[in-house]
Structure 1
Amino acid sequence: MKKQAGNLPDAVSTAKTLFDIVQCVKSSNGLTVTAVAAELDYAKSTVHRHLRTLEELGYVVEEPDGFHVGLRFLDIGQHARDCRPGFDLAHDMVDELAQETDERAQFLVEEHGEAVYLARSAGDRAVQTDPGVGSRIPLHATAAGKAILSALHEDRLFEIIEQTTFDPITDATVTNQETLLAELDKIRRRGYSFNRQENLDGLHAVGVPVQGTGDDVIGALSVSGPSHRLKGEWLEKELPDLLLGAANELELNIAHS
């Protein structure tokens, strides 16, 4: 039977409530029904009903200290990651870059106007600065994110820019459209981007876009590390050359895989 249009807002509201609860449980890692209800300002009965449903379906588990996100989400997350074009090849390339540079290497993609970490690997001297796989960060505040923006088709680029708030993360973060567009123009001409303490004080990074077979950008490779190591010729010339070569190799492997 066809659903009435008037029922749609309730259905959407219920779905939003469900995912608000999941995110709350994830962020706190062990919460009781009472704690979730207080955190979200929802009725305990509503939270209890949703959590029990999630538990029955295997998406949360109840431990002595409260509810935790269940491993069923791991299966969904791995499926979403593995379906991304060229993920396996990009993952291998990230490992190679980390070993060659001794720093942290990563592969990021764009989704819903944000940069998402899809793969990362740490070299022997890498510092623990980058968030985990699946974490999101503004595109305009990372080397990989800006590399992706530089390679997007114009309509998609401006769609993302229009929804970007440009809130400063550090004193060096790009905070307006004009500055970002000017920087993206430079990135297109030279083929690589820089992050000079734009999302974390003391961190530098270099990023390059990775194109798919249809000339669409599928993501970006980057290498990041402490600003006292990533500087001078290593930052300005050697790392960009290394990443450009890696991206070219990755694009060829994806095209012929």
Structure 2
Amino acid sequence: MPKKDTNLLNSVGLACDVLDALCELGSAGVTELADEIGCSKSTAHRQLRTLHSKEYLIKNGGQYQLGLKYIDMATRVRGQIDNYDVIRKEIESLAEETGETAQFATKEHGWVVYLYKTYGKNGVQTSSNVGTREYFHSTSLGKVMMAYMSNDRVGKIIDRHGLPVKTENTVPDRESLLEDLKKIRDRGYAIDDEENVIGLRCVAAPVIQDNRIMGAVSVSGPSRRMKGDRLNQEIPNVVTRTANIIELNSKFS
């Protein structure tokens, strides 16, 4: 476990817990929120009233929920992403070509973070959305980014977030993961073989610029379609090509 930082402000941390809880719950009253984050009702009430006064929350009756202010914040964050338009264009082309669900993700605070996602004509809905955070070890996007990190960096991510078992196919331990990452580096792409969600396979390739991992590109689809040569040749080829196009366009844009 990482060493606890004694310089953090507990009140700010609690406010973040409130926002995270409301993001998950959708809306909540004082009692429900206090139970969710493990604080007294009076503390939860003060937090909610403060965030409401600063216009980060809205209140409907006795229920609080996130306000529209976050739309403006999210739009501004997206504007800080280098070459977002290049990414969007190529991921849309990838979805159209494969007919499946195509995504681009990057890394932040030891998580895989989805930046863009779209659907081909046969694309299936998955649990991830733009902004969703996922574990590295159980996703093809995460594993392919991990494969180009140092072992020290990989170790820090594992120490921070662990290796939770998502399905019976999830990589079970550190040694198995490191072995898998070596194979991924050798072939240049990663496969999530129903390791995050049973019935769903995913193929991802890294986007690298100036020897730095910008992110990764992936295609996801039902296991009944993602198999054989399509899983091991066709999809890896188009995903790798898309990643290369993003690299080149980002370099010269």
Whether 2:53 is the aligned partner of 1:64: answer no
Residue by residue, what CA displacement relative to the aligned partner does 1:132-166 show, whole Å, maximum 9, x if unpaired?
11111110101111110112244323322333421
Amino acid at match of 1:32: G
Deviation at 1:206, TM superposition (A): 0.4
| Match in the other structure for 2:160 | 163
Contact 1:108 1:144 in 2 (8 A): yes
Q: Distance in 2 between matches of 1:144 and 1:39?
A: 31
Q: Distance in 1 between matches of 2:108 and 2:143?
A: 14
Deviation at 1:256, TM superposition (A): 0.6
Q: How does 1:126-137 map to 2 (within 5 A)?
A: 126-137=123-134
Uncovered stretches (5+) of structure 1, i.e. residues with no partner: 1-7
The count of aligned residue pairs is 249
Which secondary structure does the structure 1 equivalent of 2:159 belong to? Answer: helix
Residue by residue, what CA displacement relative to the aligned partner does 1:84-110 show, whole Å, maximum 9, x if unpaired?
333321122111111111110101111
Q: Which of 28, 43, 54 is the aligned partner of 1:46? A: 43
Which secondary structure does the structure 2 equivalent of 1:31 belong to? Answer: coil
Q: Distance in 2 between matches of 1:141 and 1:23?
A: 22
Deviation at 1:80, TM superposition (A): 2.5
Contact 1:139 1:146 in 2 (8 A): yes
Flag the 1:41–1:248 CA change in 2: closer, same or farther, 3 A.
Answer: closer
Q: Distance in 2 between matches of 1:153 and 1:83?
A: 26
Contact 1:114 1:139 in 2 (8 A): yes
Deviation at 1:81, TM superposition (A): 3.1
Amino acid at match of 1:253: N
Deviation at 1:11, TM superposition (A): 6.3
Amino acid at match of 1:239: I
Q: Which of 226, 245, 253 is the aligned partner of 2:249? A: 253
Contact 1:208 1:220 in 2 (8 A): yes
Q: What is the TM-score when the length of structure 1 is the normalising length?
A: 0.91
| Match in the other structure for 2:102 | 105
Q: Distance in 2 between matches of 1:10 and 1:115?
A: 27
Q: How does 1:106-255 map to 2 (within 5 A)?
A: 106-212=103-209, 214-255=210-251
| Match in the other structure for 1:16 | 13
Q: What is the TM-score when the length of structure 2 is the normalising length?
A: 0.92
Deviation at 1:233, TM superposition (A): 0.9
Deviation at 1:232, TM superposition (A): 0.9
Flag the 1:113–1:204 CA change in 2: closer, same or farther, 3 A.
Answer: same
State the 4+ residue runs in structure 1 displaced beyond 4 angstroms. 8-11
Q: Distance in 2 between matches of 1:76 and 1:152?
A: 30
Q: Distance in 2 between matches of 1:54 and 1:81?
A: 23
Q: Distance in 2 between matches of 1:146 and 1:17?
A: 32
Which secondary structure does the structure 2 equivalent of 1:210 belong to? Answer: strand
Amino acid at match of 2:113: V
Q: Distance in 2 between matches of 1:119 and 1:254?
A: 16
Amino acid at match of 1:211: I
Amino acid at match of 2:105: L
